[in-house]
Amino acid sequence: MSGTPRTGAPFIVTSRTGDATRPPMEEGHTLNAYLASGGYQGLRKALTMNPEEVVAEVLASNLLGRGGAGFEAGRKWSMVRPNPVRYLVINGDESEPATFKDRMLMERDPHQLVEGTLIAAYAIGAAQAFIFIRGEFALGMERVIAAVNDAYRHGAIGANIFGSGFSVDLVVHPGAGAYICGEETALLESLEGKRGYPRIKPPFFPAAIGLYGEPTVVNNVETVSNLPWIVSNGGAAFAALGQGRSTGTRIFALSGHVVRPGNYEVEMSKLTFRDLIFDPELGGGVRGGKSVKAFIPGGASAPWFGPDQLDLPLDQDAVGKAGSMLGSGSVIVMDSDTCAVRAAWRIARFFHRESCGQCTPCREGSGWIDKVMRRIEDGQGREEDLDLLMDACDNIAPGVSWPPAQTTICVLGPSIPSSVAWSIRMFRDEYLLHIKEGACPCP
Amino acid sequence: MPVSVNESGIPSEDTVTITVNGKQIAAAKGEMIISATDRAGVNVPRFCYHPRMKPVGMCRMCLVEVSGPRGMSLQPACYLPVADGMEVVTDSEKVRKAQDGVLEFLLVNHPLDCPVCDKGGECPLQDQTLAYGPGESRFVEEKRHWAKPIELSDLVLLDRERCIQCARCTRFASEIAGDPLIDFFSRGDSTEVAIAPGEKFTSYFSGNTVQICPVGALTATPYRFAARPWDLEQVESTCTSCATGCRVVVQSSSNQVIRYLGVDSDPVNQSWLCDKGRFDFEAHRAGSRVTVPMVREGGELVECTWAEALRKAAEGIGRAMEVASDPSSAVGVIGGARLANEDAYAWAKLVKSVIGTDSVDADLGDGLPADAVLGLPKATIDEVCSAPLVLVMTPDLRELAPILFLRLKAAAQSGRTKVIELTSVGTALGRYATETLVYRPGEAASLVAALFADSDPKPLAAGMEIPPIAGVAASDVARTRALLAGFSSAVAVVGRPSLAESTEATVAAVAALSAARPETRYLTVHRRGNLHGALDAGLAPGILPGRVTLEGGRSTFAAESGWGRVPASTGMSTHEILRSAAQGSLGALILLGADPVVDFPDHESEKALSGGAFVVAVTAHLCESARRADVVLPAAMYAERGGTTTNFEGRVTTLGKKVTPPGQAWEDWAIAAELATALGSDLGFTSFDDIAAERTRLVPLFRHFTPHIWNAPSTRDGVLLPLATAPVGLTGAPRALDPVATPGIGSLPHHAVRPPSPSPLFAGTGTTGPSGAVASPGAVRFSRPASPPDLPAPDAYSLRLVAPYRLYDCGTHVVGSAHLAALAPVGTVRVNHYDLDRLGASTGDTLRAVSPGGSHQVVVEVDDEVQRGTAVMGFNLAVAEGSVSARSLIDLSAPVTDIRLEAHR
């Protein structure tokens, strides 16, 4: 991004080959490389502006949060309660299965993250910022810490940044290995040294009551990584990319049964899922030339799509209207050989293992569903299990629709039906085959 | 129609109106939906919610539909505050489905072992499963399995399979008790309540976690497998293990006390109990229990009939009365704090009129004098906990009055109340106090004087450093003085901080405060259960029933319409009685539930019973003193008799009689009446009602205080005497017992006697009387000593002894309750490492302690919480073989006790 000026053309990176227009990033994480490609110019420019002007640029860019909920970043900032103390927390606890875009940004472009964080801190008037990084990201942690230390020495962090009179400290905090801490209020609890339990809403946003009870902005790593470019090039330039509310570019983490899984940064709304999966420059098609059986458009928490939805644009609202979400931007492709039961069970098992246990429907429901799904996959299912699963899903997310209602404290609960209930709806016959044959019929 | 504001008891400016199932109800601004629906009688099922703890919204059982910006949605009623105009639906199909679903989820991993579960029959999960959730289980998978039970402590066991992760216990431990020793470990459906490896849940309040557990996950060792809930009968009562006066229900099965549960009495214990109060019922069936009268024959105590025992007792007392000119010098009576108020009145009449001695003392040298307890302007617990500033000059309240500690802790943590603590040793309250000033033992008076002086302490000469006051740095004194000066009114909690410091030293501190701030109101705390009631009945030298002096009450009680006669002059205190007995000048000594041999803080207490006095012990247990008596009369215990009791606020509450006394044990008033008969007199009492009637007639303090008042449902939280002079109706509804907040408590019928009809009587229900003082001319008044006692100058080689109470000591109730006895610590002398290093000694060493009580061996322990120059030894604790307890070191006639530790060479 700011390491390489944007051209408006799709900017593509892949984790597999690194052969796209992005220069090799082996040294991209160092301060010198970053400075050489124009690093920290966005921050310098921001510091010459009023914080309000920075907020205005971001509002103009219509940058949507890249963490999953897709809330407008500028609006989130505007909602922060006036207070002598405000905190900025960057959510780098990327743990959604098949989502790996923040990881790449932290490992390969940590200075861009640091610069974006500093711009956000300046915009909201935070004197203390935190980057909360998933504990398992050893390399990302090492690189972001190194970047923060280098930035301190460079005068970009600390007291009186670049002589502007603005001061902010930045702390990198390792997560303790819980998926739930990607949920922003659980992250704040964890950051406070407590058990990572999501807080009960309302208050709906940490902007009112956040870290240590003070107003807090929680932004995703990718969201703030866009800021140096937006400040350098202007919000309007960002908004000119994409379409409707979905502006700018976005990194899609493509995985599953595609020829070229990887991270692809593309302009929003301009391409379809079919393009992303089949374009030779991008996913390169389904492996073995098979057809797409189903795909998940926005991470393991999102309802499944079938081949009919392949022509939907990579657009937040379009996907939402079609009954799922763009979510964390990870697209999982299942080919025609995939066992839908097994795939749904694997996702259900993940949520079972990652349920924090705070509230009953998720704690007990996830385990129950995991056990039933496993039983069906193992050929021990009963026909009534399908109604049971749908009803258990309904007791976690009443109505089992999208966007979901929930009986749980946080949205981990309604993430469980997304794979189980939708796969039953799409592949009921396949479930029944498991039950009637007493074994998984898939190759 | 909205409920009128007066009816719901919410002040109008704080009222909002919400709609529940189409009906408008009033709610208090900021309260949670569930408390508004509870008040309106709309039941919302719940597990994790407890009205005395912060909500967490975890179990999701209380999901209801609530209107919001995005229409109706399911929200936890326990976690969403009401808002004006809010619409709440608790009975829709959507709500029902969600609640049924949650209940089914809760049962997924919950074992269906109700038939062998202690909670079965009083289990909120069981009860709500009947009302909600599917009729049969759809769960056919393997349930979670875990080793069980886990011993969290000697008292509390955990069955992790039954746990529904409601966090009531963990929240109680950290939020209420301040002992965050248990917490959730692991996550998801592997979440378990656990304790750190190698640790124990050593909280004085651990039993409350068992009480509030909504399933059978937590069980208490004394109750485990002891009974089935449907076999239990219960009666409401008041705990008398200490003087806080916590409301309890006493539950029994087969005429055995099986369990106590805390009742939510708002002005007192707010549903909590300490473990001592909760579990000391085992003492009812202790081996030391006396159930048959005994007399000494040939040097041995032998069982006999009541007639024989009473005759022997009357003979011995009569002999003593004959030889002396003044009964007050011939017969001494010690004790009475164990009695019910009505028992105490009967005994006061026997002692002060039939026997005619004024040498009677319910205080065992461990409290404040009667004139301080009765004569100081009073403050209630509520007043203390709502005051902006409280001065605390007591022993460690967690040891002395654990529930008062919880109330004060909560007040301090709420930020409403600033606590200023004056103490000689670190206490549990210190963490929550705004200021803790650690003074040299015995010197509180000079510290108080300096805190309220007109100016800050000054140096002796210009340029010199300002010397510390009573061992407290001058800067600390100045800072606290400034803080105190900012508050116009003061409330103080006062008590004897150490039994190694004389009453005079404590009184001097109170006097200094009273002189500096005459408007100060006091909560006087003492240890023995019904000490206040005994003093109200006149069981102390120089006073008569109703908080009046001998002179003040003489005209009433000496009259024929009264008792006929009262003692001529003030008699002896416990210490004086014991000294007189030791010297052989006392003819007879009656021990009224007292064990002075081990329980009186003086090295010579033991000698009293070998001075030749004729000793009658009225007791429930064969304690050390009773073993040396000439006549032992078996008395009924708590829960074996009714009546009323008075806590240290002066609050009078009922005692429930649940079981019959074992063997031939009698209630104390009956023993007094029969002993009077044996002495050739007649108290005129054949029942409790006789006593109450006479007391109502003779004692202005108890005017209107009849069984109708104390048994009325609206006075369950007790009344403060004297009753308000304006008539107050007694028709109020009884406090509801919440069966989900305290499982097992509401599912049983209430056995209290109801008044036959609503009567227009007088009752100050739960409100304080006019400063608690009786306006009669003969009222007991706090008398300030002329000057504080002279203290010896601290010398460089001596350590000033502090002997504080411990909750678990060698008292009969703890020793008689096997599960508690194991928890009592061993008595060691705790000293700062600096003082111990000088002797070349270390923890566990046995040293010689040279004290006013002689040279004795003691075991020492390093404790840097103890100030240099101070030695701390808990009172009445078991000690290592060959060493002595604190009592043997203390000289109560001196203001303080200094000891010197010497290493054996």
- pLDDT band for position B768 (cuts 50, 70, 90): very low
Average pLDDT, chain A: 92
pLDDT by residue (tens digit) across B556-575?
A: 999 999 999 999 999 999 99
Q: Is B93 on the interface with A (CB under 8 A)?
A: no
Do residues A135 and A214 both lie within one domain? yes
Do residues A208 and A85 both lie within one domain? yes
Q: CA-CA distance, A124 to A74, in Å (whole number)? A: 10
Q: CA-CA distance, B391 to B512, in Å (whole number)? A: 13
CB within 8 Å: A364 and B74? no
CB within 8 Å: A368 and B141? yes
pLDDT at B735: 60
CB within 8 Å: B63 and A364? no
pLDDT at B788: 81
Any domain includes A149: yes
Partners of residue A202 in chain B, C-beta under 8 Å:
80
The phi and psi torsions of B799 (rounded to 5 degrees) equal -115, 135
Burial of residue A410 (CB within 10 Å: 0-12, 13-18, 19+) is buried
pLDDT by residue (tens digit) across A201-212?
A: 888 789 999 999
pLDDT at B461: 84
pLDDT by residue (tens digit) across B631-642?
A: 999 999 999 999
Residue A27 has pLDDT above 80, yes or no: no
pLDDT at B842: 93
Count of domains forming chain A = 3
Q: Which of B60, B101, B139 sits opposite A359 (nearest CB)?
A: B60
pLDDT by residue (tens digit) across B189-233?
A: 999 999 999 999 999 999 999 999 999 999 999 999 999 999 999
Shortest Cα distance, chain A CAs vs residue B188, angstroms: 4
Task: Kindly give, in sequence order, each residue whose CB lies less than 8 Å from that of residue B514, ignoring residues fewer than 6 positions away.
Answer: B376, B520, B782, B784
Mean pLDDT of B865-876: 94
Any domain includes A273: yes
Residue A22 has pLDDT above 60, yes or no: no
pLDDT at A385: 98
Q: Is B79 on the interface with A (CB under 8 A)?
A: yes
Do residues A329 and A396 both lie within one domain? no
Domain final residue pick, A172, A206, A238: A238
Shortest Cα distance, chain B CAs vs residue A46, angstroms: 36
Q: Is B487 on the interface with A (CB under 8 A)?
A: no
The phi and psi torsions of B476 (rounded to 5 degrees) equal -65, -40
The CATH number for A70's domain is 3.40.50.11540
Interface probe with B: pick from A180, A183, A364, most Cβ of B within 10 Å = A364
Do residues A232 and A323 both lie within one domain? no
Mean pLDDT of A302-318: 97
Average pLDDT, chain B: 91
CB within 8 Å: B94 and A398? yes
Any domain includes A181: yes
- Please answer whether residues A55 and A77 qualify as being in contact, where contact means their C-beta atoms are separated by less than 8 angstroms: yes
Any domain includes A442: no
Q: Which of B101, B186, B188 sits opposite A395 (nearest CB)?
A: B101
H or E, element range at B354: none
Q: Is B175 on the interface with A (CB under 8 A)?
A: no
Any domain includes A148: yes
**Minimum mean pLDDT among A311-315, B62-66, B327-331, B708-712: which range?**
B708-712
Do residues A280 and A354 both lie within one domain? no
Domain final residue pick, A176, A203, A238: A238
| Pair of tokens at residue A427 | 């592949």
DSSP type of residue A272? B
pLDDT at B33: 97
CB within 8 Å: B141 and A365? no
Q: Which of A357, A375, A398 sits opposite B188 (nearest CB)?
A: A357
What is the amino acid identity at position B298? Answer: G
Mean pLDDT of B850-874: 94
Shortest Cα distance, chain B CAs vs residue A365, angstroms: 6
Structural domains present in chain B: 14-91 (3.10.20.740), 295-366+533-742 (3.40.50.740), 371-524 (3.40.228.10), 799-902 (2.40.40.20)
What is the amino acid identity at position B303? Answer: E
Which ranges of B538-665 does DSSP label H, i.e. alpha helix?
550-558, 574-582, 596-599, 624-627
- pLDDT band for position A437 (cuts 50, 70, 90): very high
Nearest residue to A169 (alpha-carbon basis) of A199, A126, A232: A126
pLDDT by residue (tens digit) across A182-227?
A: 999 999 999 999 999 999 988 878 999 999 999 999 999 999 999 9
Do residues A196 and A212 both lie within one domain? yes
Residue A86 has pLDDT above 70, yes or no: yes
- Please answer whether residues B124 and B215 qualify as being in contact, where contact means their C-beta atoms are separated by less than 8 angstroms: yes
Q: Which residue of B has its CA nearest to A198?
A: B58
Mean pLDDT of B77-105: 96
Q: CA-CA distance, B174 to B178, in Å (whole number)? A: 5
Q: CA-CA distance, A23 to A26, in Å (whole number)? A: 9
Which ranges of B523-667 does DSSP label H, i.e. alpha helix?
531-536, 550-558, 574-582, 596-599, 624-627
Residue B10 has pLDDT above 80, yes or no: no
pLDDT by residue (tens digit) across A230-283?
A: 999 999 999 999 999 999 989 999 999 999 898 888 889 999 999 999 999 899
* ipTM of predicted assembly, 2 dp: 0.94
Task: Kindly give, in sequence order, each residue whose CB lies less than 8 Å from that of residue A403, ignoring residues fewer than 6 positions away.
Answer: A320, A325
SS3 B261: strand
Any domain includes A5: no
**Minimum mean pLDDT among A302-311, B408-417, B738-747: which range?**
B738-747
DSSP type of residue B788? P
CB within 8 Å: A408 and B142? no
Do residues A50 and A199 both lie within one domain? yes
Q: Which residue of B has its CA nearest to A397?
A: B98
Q: Which residue of A has its CA nearest to B56?
A: A200
- Please answer whether residues B341 and B643 qualify as being in contact, where contact means their C-beta atoms are separated by less than 8 angstroms: yes
A and B: number of Cβ contacts within 8 A = 102
SS3 B4: coil
Do residues A286 and A425 both lie within one domain? no
pLDDT at B784: 84
Partners of residue A395 in chain B, C-beta under 8 Å:
97-98, 100-102, 104-105
SS3 A382: coil
pLDDT by residue (tens digit) across A100-138?
A: 999 989 988 899 999 999 999 999 999 999 999 999 999
Burial of residue B30 (CB within 10 Å: 0-12, 13-18, 19+) is exposed
Residue B770 has pLDDT above 50, yes or no: no
Crossing angle of the two packed helices A110-124 and A101-108, in degrees rounded to 10 = 100
Domain final residue pick, A291, A313, A335: A335
Q: State percent of chain A over pLDDT 90.
A: 86
Do residues A127 and A44 both lie within one domain? yes
Q: Is A355 on the interface with B (CB under 8 A)?
A: yes
Q: Is A318 on the interface with B (CB under 8 A)?
A: no
pLDDT at B317: 97
pLDDT at A313: 97
Q: CA-CA distance, B858 to B880, in Å (whole number)? A: 8
Any domain includes A8: no
The CATH number for A308's domain is 3.10.20.600
pLDDT at A426: 98
Residue A6 has pLDDT above 50, yes or no: no
pLDDT by residue (tens digit) across A330-362?
A: 999 999 999 999 999 999 999 999 999 999 999
Do residues A171 and A104 both lie within one domain? yes
pLDDT by residue (tens digit) across B827-854?
A: 999 999 999 999 999 999 999 999 999 9
Residue B497 has pLDDT above 60, yes or no: yes
Do residues A130 and A219 both lie within one domain? yes
Do residues A260 and A364 both lie within one domain? no
- pLDDT band for position B729 (cuts 50, 70, 90): low
Residue A18 has pLDDT above 80, yes or no: no
Any domain includes A4: no
The CATH number for A377's domain is 1.20.1440.230
Residue B644 has pLDDT above 90, yes or no: yes
Mean pLDDT of B6-16: 66
Q: Is B73 on the interface with A (CB under 8 A)?
A: yes
**Minimum mean pLDDT among A258-272, B763-777, B869-883: which range?**
B763-777
pLDDT at B2: 38
| Pair of tokens at residue B256 | 């055995």
Across B413-426, b (16+ Cβ under 10 Å) vs e yields: eeeebbbbbbbbbb
Which ranges of A91-213 does DSSP label H, i.e. alpha helix?
101-108, 110-124, 138-154, 184-191
pTM of the model: 0.93
The phi and psi torsions of B662 (rounded to 5 degrees) equal -75, 155
Residue A88 has pLDDT above 60, yes or no: yes
Mean pLDDT of B663-668: 96
Residue A175 has pLDDT above 80, yes or no: yes
**Residues spanned by the domain of A88:** 15-238
